[in-house]
């Protein structure tokens, strides 16, 4: 089974703080994604990465950046957290071949509250 692990389940930060959300997957997947989940808005793509050191903007990249230094790890960075970034953040990964190619596998989520 593919495992996508988000190290922080709950975080509380103050406005202006720098926030790191870490995600690790253990199935050697090429593709990794960060989504934001808000009630009534569904899942919105923030950033994604097709390979190490590669990144592409999703639908709502403003206020966020990402880092992918190793294939298994994809980090989401909030340079200066704001209250409107209070949300559930979901990391996902997806392979490019075999049975894993069509399955986007999610982590359990990181709930961030910005005060």
Residues of the shown chain interacting with another protein in the complex, contacts defined by CB under 8 A:
4, 31, 33, 35, 39-45, 48, 50, 58, 90, 92, 96, 101-109
Q: Closer to another protein by CB, 75 or 93: give it.
A: 93
* Residues 70-102: b if buried by 16+ CB within 10 A, e if exposed: ebbebbbebeebeeebebebbbbbbbeeeebee
User: Is-contact 92 32, C-beta < 8 A?
Assistant: yes
User: Whose structure tokens read 């808005």?
Assistant: 41
Q: Closer to another protein by CB, 13 or 57: give it.
A: 57
User: Minimal distance in Å, beta carbon 30 to another protein?
Assistant: 9
User: Minimal distance in Å, beta carbon 63 to another protein?
Assistant: 20
């Amino acid at each position: 089974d593919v495992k996508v692990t988000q190290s922080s389940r709950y975080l509380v930060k103050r406005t202006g703080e720098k926030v790191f959300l870490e995600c690790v997957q253990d199935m050697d997947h090429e593709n990794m994604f960060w989504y934001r989940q808000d009630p009534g808005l569904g899942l919105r793509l923030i950033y994604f990465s097709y390979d190490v050191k590669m990144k592409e903007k999703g639908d709502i990249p403003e206020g966020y950046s990402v880092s992918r230094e190793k294939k298994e790890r994809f980090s989401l960075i909030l340079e200066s957290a704001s209250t409107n970034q209070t949300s559930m953040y979901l990391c996902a990964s997806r392979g490019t071949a075999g049975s894993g190619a069509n399955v986007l596998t999610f982590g359990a989520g990181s709930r961030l509250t910005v005060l």
